[in-house]
Amino acid sequence: MADIGLKAGLTFMDIGCGGGFFALPAARIVGESGKVYGIDINAESISQLRALADREGLNNLELTVGRAEDVVLCKSCADIIFFGIVLHDFEDAAKVLQNAKKMLNPAGRLVNLDWKKTTMPLGPPLPIRFSEEKSAQLIEAAGLKVVSVSDVGPYHYIIVARP
């Protein structure tokens, strides 16, 4: 999280947050002066994340059950919009990215961490994965500028884009 520039006071959006693998650490980092939005289609995952946050006394999470294709929580409010190994899971990734652009503030950044499209012993099926090139193409088609594409270990890559 520190490597993507997350720090106290920022607004972080975890699109497809699931049970909070990234949202919970983000909430700890941004602290009381920051905010974390989590969006997921799975109501049970959101409920579990809310319970975990409550147990830790984290009051800076705003959690929404819904399809990311249909959700725009705010206009130009997010410092970081984060996709944690989920972009390939959305029904319409292009629409999700268009919505993300609407929520990203002019100085913010979109971060896509995803599985490499190579054969490996773990991760989602190879045919549904997005290559770095495909992800970058979708991000740019949504009106964002890709500023970096990097390997993050043997299984993942990370793309950072700006408005």
Q: What is the pTM of this model?
A: 0.95
* Total of domains in the chain: 2
Same domain for 85 and 29: no
For each of the chain's 163 residues, which pLDDT tens digit applies? 888 999 999 999 999 999 999 999 999 999 999 999 999 999 999 999 999 999 999 999 999 999 999 999 999 999 999 999 999 999 999 999 999 999 999 999 999 999 999 999 999 999 999 999 999 999 999 999 999 999 999 999 999 999 9
Residue 96 lies in a domain: yes
Contact 82, 30 (CB under 8 A): no
Residue pair 1/31 in contact (Cβ under 8 Å)? The answer is: no
In terms of domains, do 40 and 109 share one?
no
Tell me the residue ranges of DSSP E strands in the chain.
Answer: 11-15, 35-40, 61-65, 78-84, 104-115, 145-152, 156-162
Residue 71 lies in a domain: no
Using CA atoms, how far apart are residues 25 and 29, in angstroms rounded to an integer? Answer: 6
On whether residue 1 sits in a domain, the answer given is no
- Please report the pLDDT score of residue 3 as a whole number: 86
Instruction: Supply the CATH number for residue 131's domain.
Output: 3.40.50.150
Distances in Å between the Cα of 45 and the Cα atoms of 35, 49, 50, 66, 114 are 19, 6, 9, 12, 20
| Domain span at 32 | 7-66
Same domain for 43 and 123: no
Pairing state between β 104-115 and 156-162 = antiparallel
The answer to whether residues 52 and 85 belong to one domain is: no
Give the separation between CA 134 and CA 139, rounded to whole angstroms: 9
